[in-house]
């Protein structure tokens, strides 16, 4: 084999490796990029769980999460991406985290951790904690499961 052909084969191997997504394992898990995670005084979005696939809905969810005034809406390429949003079920000392988004046969499965009901936390001002992640767009129905974690009482 000539040196020129060997060089082309090596270049093709590098290009092929560059096309693979090392952040998405073979088990269907999608790579996640946090758009925002915040705790705000607004508590109208308590217990929200949704997958957003269009700009109009994204704008509405963003406003619902932040209340008025909301910070500038982050850009999302909805042709190739979707946003997964979850807010905590508690109004005080809550935490929520989107842990995994997996593509399955015919849809999407979202796994998250959420502070569950607690009688040990006392709070003076209600608030909402939420987490939003961007990931590769997947069509189909959405199934969301949450595991309970303890609240972050001081």
Distance CA 26, CA 40 (A): 37
The whole-angstrom distance between residue 92's C-alpha and the CA centroid of its chain comes to: 22
Cis previous bond, 111, omega within 30: no
Q: Where are the domains of the chain?
A: 24-149
What is the structure's pLDDT at 69?
87
pLDDT in tens, 34-67: 999 998 886 667 788 999 999 999 999 999 999 8
The whole-angstrom distance between residue 134's C-alpha and the CA centroid of its chain comes to: 5
Q: How many CB atoms within 10 Å of residue 52?
A: 21
Task: Indicate the average pLDDT of the chain.
Answer: 80
pLDDT in tens, 76-93: 999 999 999 999 877 777
pLDDT higher than threshold 60 for residue 6: no
């Amino acid at each position: 084999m000539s040196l020129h052909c060997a060089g082309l084969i090596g270049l093709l191997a590098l290009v092929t490796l560059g096309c693979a997504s090392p952040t998405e394992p073979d088990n269907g898990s999608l790579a996640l990029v946090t758009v925002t995670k915040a705790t705000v005084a607004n508590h109208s979005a308590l217990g929200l769980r949704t997958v957003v696939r269009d700009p109009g809905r994204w704008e509405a969810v963003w406003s619902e999460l932040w209340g008025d005034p909301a910070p500038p809406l982050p850009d999302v390429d909805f042709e190739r991406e979707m946003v997964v949003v979850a807010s905590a079920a508690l109004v005080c000392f809550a935490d929520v985290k989107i842990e995994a988004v997996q593509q399955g046969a015919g849809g999407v499965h979202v796994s998250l951790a959420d502070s569950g009901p607690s009688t040990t936390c006392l709070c003076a001002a209600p608030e909402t904690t939420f987490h939003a992640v961007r990931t590769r767009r997947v069509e189909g129905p959405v199934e969301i499961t949450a595991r309970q974690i303890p609240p972050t009482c001081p």
